[in-house]
Amino acid sequence: MSNKMEQIINEIKKYIPEEEIALNEPMKKHTTFRVGGDAEIFVSPSAKEVKKIIEVCNELEVPYHVVGNGSNLLVSDQGLNGVVISVRKNAEYIKLNGDVIIAGAGSSLAKVANFAAKEGLGGLEFAAGIPGTIGGAIVMNAGAFGGEIKDVLVSAKVCTKEGKILEIEAQDLELSYRHSCVLEKEYIVLEATFKLKEADKEEIFAAMDDYKRRRISSQPLNFPSAGSTFKRPKDNFAGKLIEDSGLKGYKIGGAQVSEKHCGFVVNSNAATATDVYELINYVISVVKTKYDVTLEPEVKMMGEF
């Protein structure tokens, strides 16, 4: 280990418990694709501790990467240098204030949706089966079945790359289809505030159960994946374009275009991140050639490919 790495570990230990610091941590343990190399330093701070970790990284000029549940992430086989900040297990909490819910960035989106349902608050039914955390949901403006995060989000508390804490109104996050300004501005989401509406509990749970059934029946949930791999192209559907291109079941190494839903690339048999990456790019090239449509990955790439 380099002197700089030892130095940053010693600095980080001043702010978070030593047991929340791991060296050469396999990122395949922290992504739903179950692929990826090692993180040089992997830390799990609370939302309040994130600011301190950022300040340490900036001061020592060490690169850092931020991950949540890893459900929309492809980490390269070469792994990640510097510090990986996991805003997950120690940044999970849910608070209720009337029809307003405040949730930590590490909170499961599905868990928050279920919490709201139990309180008779509607608006998050669409999120019941979406994997991932609140932080990731805001980054991507997660959505399903006609609902999106932007429909119920009031504001988000973020940490800037300079280590400054800001409360940003939803309208200033540039929320659109599977997009926000969070990545471009290099914010780290720490907390979110949602405004919901009172509704009948039975109706809320019935809608959530229906969405879950539809998800189970149509998606390849029996294989590791990052959910829907491609964004929906304008006036079309990625899955249909891929299937019509003859790519259903197509494989590169252990990565495969799902036979159940062609919009998904899955880890069917001990895939590497390179397998997944090459398959995504192959699908994009074939669809472009056949239909002159450029598919855009919904999955975030992290590391060198």
Residues with a known catalytic role: 178, 228, 298
Phi, psi of 21 (to 5 degrees): -120, 125
Tell me whether residue 199 is exposed, middle or buried, using C-beta atoms within 10 angstroms of its C-beta: 0 to 12, 13 to 18, 19 or more.
Answer: middle
Rounded CA separation 19/257 (Å) = 39
Rounded CA separation 34/269 (Å) = 11
Alpha carbon distances (Å) from 102 to 10, 113, 192, 193, 233: 33, 12, 6, 4, 33
Closest CA to 237 of 266, 212, 274, 264: 264
SS percent in the chain: helix, strand, coil, step 5: 35, 25, 40
Rounded CA separation 133/139 (Å) = 10
Interior/surface letters 167-183, b for 16+ CB within 10 angstroms, e for the rest: ebebeebebeebbbebe
Helical (H) or strand (E) element with 202: helix 201-218
Are 110 and 71 in contact, with CB atoms under 8 Å apart?
no
Sign of CA dihedral 298, 24, 45, 110: positive
